[in-house]
Structure 1
Amino acid sequence: MTEDVLVNEELLTIGAFAARARLSPKALRLYDRLGLLAPAHVDEVSGYRYYRADQAERARLVALLRQLDMPLARIAEVVAAEGSAAAGLLDAYWADTEARFASQRTLAEYLRGRLSGRSSEMYGKFVIETVEVPERVVLTEKRHTLADELPVWIPAALGRLEEGAREAGGITGAPFVVYYAAVSNESDGPAESCVPVADADAARAWAEGQPRARGIQVRVEPAQRLAYARITKAQVAHPQILAAFEAVEAWITEQGLSYDGPCREIYFADWDAAGPEDAVCDVAFPVR
């Protein structure tokens, strides 16, 4: 059987297949290049692509997933899976997407308040107080990290440090995270997770036995006065927490105080046991 007969009877040219799949030849060439939908046959001489009619369903599926703004790598996973496994991959992607949309919606509302001059109204819901904190020895783990990595890194780092603190006489205060520079999806800090410990020498011995890549150290946190706002578990999420930090900064300016160190988040409650409206964290600045 000649190739012309084969094409006419069993395969479709890229133009005919594109029309059947309701896609453009350009899209089909892209899908081929990315390994999402390979032609059934490519002419060795002309380079023309030919497709089977039953490939149209996969082509349409890829196109529909693209309409969800699904990354091509994840589309490849979905189309390679079958039945409930493919549906599960889609569910996981969409859950992540809805969470991102919710965060972006909250950020838009926050920015709307700032742009419309309602910042003072947002700050008014936070009560600012001060506290004197004595000198402490702390176990620390410092790293450069982006904002979307913080929800994973902070609990993991504090968990490691709390384990070390138990071998160093126990934990003597609430764990906290210090931000030495801005942490966002464009700026990576660094940030430092800290746990106060009772025995400095035992803490140093434990830290020396940890992987160097984690950057675990022991240092002395000086006595200081903190200006802080207490926030709920729901308010810890970005960007609600930004409003809390800005409220503290506005209060510091109003009181004529000066900054005396980098800002921090102090986690004084059991995160896993807390509900959305339970107070779990103080956002604070050292002041003088």
Structure 2
Amino acid sequence: MTDDLLAIGAFAARSRLSPKALRLYDRLGLLAPAYVDETTGYRYYRADQVERARTVALLRRLDMPLTRIAEVVAAGESDGVRASALLAGYWAGVEERIAAQRTLAEYLRGRLSGRSSEMYGKFVVETVDVPEQVLITEKRHVLAEELPAWIGASLGRLETAARGCGGTTGVPFVVYHAEVSPESDGPAEACVPVADEQAARAWAGEQGRAWQTGVRVEPARRLAYTRITKAQVAHPQILAAFEAVEAWVAAQGLQYAGPCREVYFADWDAAGPEDPVCDVAFPVQPPAGA
């Protein structure tokens, strides 16, 4: 029965996996032996399983979770293109995570060294005048870890609703009416500018309180802002961008004219970690009497 099969030791040597790893992958369904002796419990493998075993070993070197490895390997049995796409998707997520961690490490180095102010020089702060806008909005109390999912979902709902409100007239943004952190839940307000105020108010009336929706007219404002990348948007490293704008506002002798905001001008899903996607901004005005 086992004449044409490899015992686990020989197969381990061929596949460059330890017998312990082979037993683990068997239990997880990643690499089942071709035959198990019912009396001795010895495992035997076919020679043509070596390629699968080596693929598993290489994927593990990418720190891919075992469940994801199982998905990639299973796809590779019948559809190499799909398996390759699954690997590409996993690796894109790894690169995004590493980019976010890199910016977090830079932020923490500045904090720990007491040289936070030196970090502000990395951010270019400018001003822009924004005209009066009719906004459809969705407000929610949300903690920092919940924020990314909520922003994507809420802006998606609002941009869909904007089609019935004359279409969008500007880029979406999120206003922070109070601090959002792991301990503080805001609230935050997602906003999409639209063309038709009457249609927007009719939409808001139909929505009721389902998503805490509303309509408001925001007056013309001057924004002090700095542009950041997708990797820099993550909390808490985004705080460095907010602090840089705050330092600039203080240096210019300006006053705040409203709550801070994040303005999302790029396609988030299509953007890479180092692509600019967002402006961190504060409404500002000259001091009284100036």
TM-score for both structures, normalised by structure 2: 0.68
Candidates 110, 115, 118, aligned match of 1:113: 110
Cα offsets for 1:166-207 (capped at 9, x unmatched) = 27xx75x764202455367x9987643113557666324323
Instruction: Give the letter for the 1:281 counterpart.
Output: D
Which blocks of at least 5 consecutive residues in structure 1 are unaligned?
Answer: 1-5
Q: Helix, strand or coil for the counterpart of 1:139? A: strand
Moved more, 149-158 or 23-32: 149-158
For 1:165 and 1:197, the matched residues in 2 are separated by 6
CA contact (8 A) 2:130 2:220 kept: yes
Instruction: Write the distance in 2 (CA, Å) between the matches of 1:218 and 1:150.
Output: 17
Q: CA deviation at 1:51?
A: 1.9
Residue in 2 aligned with 1:37? 31
Deviates more, 1:119-128 or 1:60-69: 119-128
Query: Partners of 1:94 and 1:133 in 2: how far apart?
Result: 42
Partner of 2:271 in structure 1?
Answer: none
How far is 1:76 from its partner?
1.7
CA contact (8 A) 1:140 1:161 kept: no
1:136-151 to structure 2, matched below 5 A, reads 138-142=135-139, 144=142, 146=146, 149=149
| Pairing 1:17-166 to 2, within 5 Å after superposition | 17-44=11-38, 46-80=40-74, 81=76, 82-124=79-121, 125-127=123-125, 138-142=135-139, 144=142, 146=146, 149=149, 152-153=152-153, 156-166=156-166
Distance 1:64 1:282 in 2: 41
Matched residues, number: 270
| Aligned residue in 2 for 1:13 | 7
Equivalences for residues 250-261 of structure 1 within 5 A:
250=247
CA-atom RMSD in angstroms: 4.5
Whole-Å separation in 2 of the counterparts to 1:61 and 1:151: 38
Residues 279 and 39 of structure 1: CA distance in aligned 2, closer, same or farther (over 3 Å): closer
Q: Please point out which of 191, 195, 198 is paired with 1:194.
A: 191
Residues 22-56 of structure 1, C-alpha deviations (whole Å, 9 max, x = no match): 32232122212222111112344554433223222
Task: After TM superposition, give the deviation of residue 137 of structure 1 in Å.
Answer: 6.2
2: CA distance, partners of 1:46 / 1:142: 65
Equivalent-residue separation in structure 2 for 1:25 and 1:48 (angstroms): 11
CA distance in 1, matches of 2:277, 2:87: 35
Report Cα offsets for 1:231-267 as digits up to 9, x if no partner: 2364884356432211244567789999897532245
The verdict on how the C-alpha distance between 1:211 and 1:223 changes in structure 2, with shifts beyond 3 A counting, is closer
Q: 2:214 aligns with which of 204, 214, 218?
A: 218
Q: Evaluate the alpha carbon distance shift between residue 85 and residue 196 of structure 1 in structure 2; reply closer, same or farther with a 3 A threshold.
A: closer
Contact in 2 for aligned 1:164/1:207 (Cα 8 Å) = no
CA distance in 1, matches of 2:12, 2:171: 62
Displacement after TM superposition at 1:154 (Å): 6.5
Identical aligned residues as a percent: 57
TM-score relative to the length of structure 1? 0.68
Query: How far did 1:115 drift?
Result: 2.5
Letter in 2 for 1:176: F
Q: How does 1:167-182 map to 2 (within 5 A)?
A: 171=169, 175-179=172-176, 180-182=178-180
Q: Which residue of 2 aligns with 1:203?
A: 200
Q: Quick one: distance in 2 between partners of 1:262 and 1:64?
A: 49
Decide whether the 8 Å contact of 2:230 with 2:277 is kept in 1.
no
Gaps of 5+ in 2: 268-273
SS at match of 1:10: coil
